[in-house]
Amino acid sequence: MILVVVEHEAGAPDRLSVEALALGRSLAEATGEPLAAVAYGPGSAAIAGALGASGVATLTAIDDPRLAEYAPEALGKAVAQLVERDRPSVVIGTGSERGAEILAHVAARTGLPLAANVTEVRPGDPWGVTRQRWGGSLLEEARLDGPIRLLTVAPHAVKPASAAAPSQVAVEAFAPDLTDRDLRVRITSRVPAEAGVVSLADARVVVGGGRGVGSTEGFAELDELALLLGGTVGVSRVVTSAGWRPHAQQVGQTGTRIAPDLYIACGISGAIQHMVGARSAKAILAINTDRDAPMVTRATYAVIGDLHTILPAIITAVRAAR
Residues that bind ligand FAD (CB under 6 A): 210-212, 236-238, 250-255, 267-269, 271, 273-274, 277, 287-290, 293, 306-308
Contact (CB, 8 A) for 210 and 234:
no
DSSP 227-280: HHTT-EEEE-HHHHHTTSS-GGGBBSTTSB----SEEEEES----HHHHHHHTT
Residue among 119 and 288 whose Cβ is closer to ligand FAD: 288
* Residue 66: other Cβ atoms inside 10 A: 13
Q: From the CB of 267, what's the least distance to ligand FAD, in Å?
A: 4
Q: Which CB sits closer to ligand FAD, 145 or 306? A: 306
Q: At residue 267, what is the residue type?
A: G
Closer to ligand FAD at the Cβ: 105 or 156?
156
Cβ of residue 91: shortest distance to ligand FAD, in angstroms? 28
Comparing CB distances to ligand FAD, the nearer of 228 and 271 is 271
Contact 152, 23 (CB under 8 A): no
**Is the CB of residue 75 less than 8 Å from the CB of residue 68?**
no
Shortest Å, Cβ 256 to ligand FAD? 8
Q: How far apart are CA 53 and CA 162, in angstroms?
A: 5
Q: How far is the CB of 152 from ligand FAD (least distance, A)?
A: 18
Q: Which CB sits closer to ligand FAD, 63 or 224?
A: 224
Tell me the closest approach of the beta carbon of residue 278 to ligand FAD, in angstroms.
9
What distance in Å separates the CA atoms of residue 9 and residue 260, rounded to the nearest whole number? 20
